[in-house]
Amino acid sequence: MDIFLYIIIFIIGTLFGSFFTLAVYRIPLKQDITHKRSYCPNCNHKLGFFDMLPIVSYIFLRGKCRYCGQKIRPRYLILEVLSGIVFVLFAMSIKLSIFTFNISTIVYFIFGLIYIATLFIIAGIDKENHKIEKGVLLFGYIMQALYIAYLYIVEKDPNVYRYAIYLVIVILLILLNTFYLRKKVKNSYVTDILLLCMLFLMFTYETISILTIEFTLLAIAIAQVIKKLINIIRKKVNTKEEKPIPIGFYLCITNIICLITANYYIFF
């Protein structure tokens, strides 16, 4: 019976993946992501219901807009599939089953999916624009605060005081960024990365957060080496200014992987 549960979770994941692509495109442009109808960015034609079915629409439309014939970037399909897979892996990592439902597991699962969704959007925006979107980060903190309240009120979690310490640090970083750094430097990317890491600490604890940073540094190093080797093989001399490394992107993806992997270790 669990196979049907995981199929439903996969479908939910693909729906979230479709939303991620919309959010990553619209949020930096300050466009509405909840009420405004989806549209083709090339011809601006509003999309119909059958144009927005995750995976299915892309396949049947052969990767093209129904109205103008413009090719749809494959990343939309890839993100939808990956989102579905990640949602299923997260459910499996906590041994989610219709036979062993309990409130604690369900609540953790829901907040875990919201957390992963937040990281997906942050990662996508950072990869495209080299920017940690503060609004999305704030949403992550609000959701984490609600989860902390649940742990304190319902589950009587004795570790709730560590959350309070992290919240104080977050508030101090925000105040520092708002009243000092914003006046001194044009780019607050470093502070935003620290705030992102604080979000990791609050949801995934210290060990996973430390592993996230370590594996992120390793992933960035490997990516840069591969890039250099490709340029050497192609005998390509890069005369353009290189884009800055999207550290937030690497951090978010690595944290999701570490979280799911650690859950398998903890729950199994």
* pLDDT tens, residue by residue, 141-163: 999 989 988 888 888 877 777 77
Q: Which two tokens stand for residue 115?
A: 């957390």
- Average pLDDT (75-80) is 87
Q: Which two tokens stand for residue 63?
A: 């990767």
- Average pLDDT (160-183) is 77
Q: Provide the 10 A C-beta neighbour count for residue 97.
A: 14
Mean pLDDT, the chain, whole residue set: 86
- How much of the chain, in percent, has pLDDT values that exceed 70? 93
Q: How confident is the model at residue 240 (pLDDT cuts 50, 70, 90)?
A: low
Of 35-44, 51-60, 108-117, the least confident: 35-44
Residue 251: predicted pLDDT:
96
* pTM of the predicted model as reported, rounded to 2 decimal places: 0.89
Of 15-24, 76-85, 158-167, the least confident: 158-167
Residue 261: predicted pLDDT:
94
Q: Which two tokens stand for residue 158?
A: 């004795």
3-state secondary structure string across the chain: CHHHHHHHHHHHHHHHHHHHHHHHHHHHHCCCCCCCCCECCCCCCECCHHHCCCCHHHHHCCCECCCCCCECCCHHHHHHHHHHHHHHHHHHHCCCCCCCCCHHHHHHHHHHHHHHHHHHHHHHHHHHHCCCCHHHHHHHHHHHHHHHHHHHHCCCCCCHHHHHHHHHHHHHHHHHHHHHHHHHCCCCHHHHHHHHHHHHHHHHHHHHHHHHHHHHHHHHHHHHHHHHHHHHHCCCCCCCCCCCCCHHHHHHHHHHHHHHHHHHHHHC
pLDDT above 80 for 25: yes
Residue 174: predicted pLDDT:
80
pLDDT above 70 for 239: no
Q: Pick from 202, 223, 209, 222: which is nearest to 251 by CA?
A: 209
Q: Which two tokens stand for residue 177?
A: 């960024």
Residue 236: predicted pLDDT:
64
